[in-house]
Amino acid sequence: MARLERLAGAWHGVLAAGLAGALLSLAFAPVDWSWLAVAAPAVLFYVAAVAPRRQALQAGYAFGLGEFGVGVSWVFVSINEYGGAGPVLAALVTVLLVAGLALFPVLAVAAGRACGPGRTARLLLALPAAWLLVAWLRTWLLTGFPWLFLGYATLDTPLAGLAPVGGVLGLTAVLALLAGAVAWLAAAPSWRRGAYAAALAGLAAAGGVAGERASWTEAYGEPLSVALLQGSFAQDVKWDPSQLPRILERYARLTEAHLGADLIVWPETAVPRRFDRVAQPLEAVAGRVREAGGALVLGIPYRVAGAGGATLHNSVVAFGRERAVYHKRHLVPYGEYVPLRSLFGRSLDFLGAPLADYEPGPAPEPLRLGPELTLGATVCYEVAYPNAVRRTAAGADVLVNLSNDAWFGDSLAPHQHLQKARMRAAESGRWLLRATNTGITALIGPQGRVAARSPQFEVAALTGEVGRRRGATPYTRVGDAPLVTTAGAALLGLPLAAWYRRRARAGA
């Protein structure tokens, strides 16, 4: 073990951490090698605990470069192929993003080392707690980037039953604790340490099984027949004004073929024109759906006139017995608006929204389509934020997520995006209907399992039956606050406990 420690404290440890970070991406969709969500951070934790401080921080940065360099490589595809920036500028933006995101593992390593008074404390508590807190930080700092959380790798494992209890961050905490236990065992193998790691894994699995069997929410009423329409328009075609008649015709035709469904859903910005300019043909289609006894939900840019001037929103319009509108609240910087527009002017428009900068909507409320149906709506990237879904989940019968993953092409992103939607369904105990422009359109059950999905890059209509559900899961009720508070208290309590022990010994 002394030799292993020497290697971890040299450049070998930094290299191993970088490789582990790159391999971590394989723990997520579409590869789904879930065991890597424990093995990869275990490598980093081991190096962080035994190496000198400088090498430990370097290992943290190497891990971050590997993790985000592979895991969010789709950013290059979006900017190069669909942003029109060209490969050089797209590569520069991607490198800068990865370099910035890689600082988060460094922060976790620094905090874990600073608060852990010894290797055992670092591995079993300080580093896992710091990892969780940094993950939580990524949900809101600079508008947030909640991508590649360890917990997403658990969806097809026995641990998935813990999602309604602790959410994705709770599952991330469990995997970080397991990673710390594995690293602790590797630092000094013994049957006691092996038994501890095995007991921790067994306890987590048992909790997951128990959580899955619990009845957090219940079905009620008659099932809904739904049709999710996937128009499959390439991004450069979608925003070509000359293509609008073709787009409207395709969605109207697909809708006509599924009249009689209780709910028909079109994807995000299915109609790439302001609502006020195409309201008449859309009302005509919606009228046909209503006559057949159903409701129509679609994504479209929406202009709102106000005393301070008009604002443009990325919106969901629901045509039930009455019209209801949801304006996307959590916008993507540089994807849907350009921050500091007064400073940058039009120079960064290649990163921004195709029409103009969108404005965030007000606090979300469920979309009420009538007395029989209430929807919790999110648009595209919002489904990556647990709280964006949690705010309306308890008051919704069914969740809907409208997206346009054409921005990502044939990359990792659509698969990762679907995985996040699955976690939101599991956290809330609700069916989630995911309608996308080019795929992956999916019907997701209340335990996060995909009941049906469409092929990518094909015109498709995904049909099925889903159940209305009521009630609230523990996670929907309390969110992340108890978990984050506990982790923070544990991290701060370690150095205080060590100080108290030293003082007690000195007094003795």
User: How many residues belong to the chain?
Assistant: 508
Tokens of 385: 């934020």
Residue 386 · residue 356 · CB < 8 Å? no
Among 434, 409, 410, 430, which residue's Cα sits nearest to residue 421? 434
List the alpha helices (DSSP H) in 333-448: 341-344, 386-393, 413-428
Half-sphere exposure of 71 (CA within 13 A, CB side): 34
Which one of 81, 212, 238, 380 is the catalytic residue? 380
Active site residue 249: no
**Dihedral through CA 424, CA 476, CA 337, CA 351, nearest 10?**
-30
Buried b (16+ CB within 10 A) or exposed e, 386-408: bebbbbbbbebbbbbbbbbbbbb
Residue 318 · residue 402 · CB < 8 Å? no
Please calculate the CA angle 277-278-279 and round it to the nearest 5 degrees: 100
Amino acid at 353: A
Among 274, 386, 257, 410, which residue's Cα sits nearest to residue 330? 386
Tokens of 350: 């290649």
Cα gap 189→37, rounded to integer Å: 21
Residue 424 · residue 160 · CB < 8 Å? no
Active site residue 268: yes
Which one of 81, 115, 212, 328 is the catalytic residue? 328
Please calculate the CA angle 442-443-446 and round it to the nearest 5 degrees: 130
Active site residue 115: no
Residue 384 · residue 417 · CB < 8 Å? yes
Q: What are phi and psi of 433, to 5 degrees?
A: -100, 115
Amino acid at 75: V
Among 497, 508, 507, which residue's Cα sits nearest to residue 115? 497
Burial degree of 439 (CB within 10 A; 0-12, 13-18, 19+):
buried
Which one of 268, 336, 382, 427 is the catalytic residue? 268
Cα gap 432→447, rounded to integer Å: 10
Residue 404 · residue 398 · CB < 8 Å? no
Cα gap 423→216, rounded to integer Å: 15
Cα gap 178→42, rounded to integer Å: 8
Helices (H) then strands (E): counts for the chain: 19, 12
Cα gap 138→110, rounded to integer Å: 16
Among 111, 11, 104, 112, which residue's Cα sits nearest to residue 65? 104
Residue 408 · residue 78 · CB < 8 Å? yes
**Residues forming the active site:** 268, 328, 380
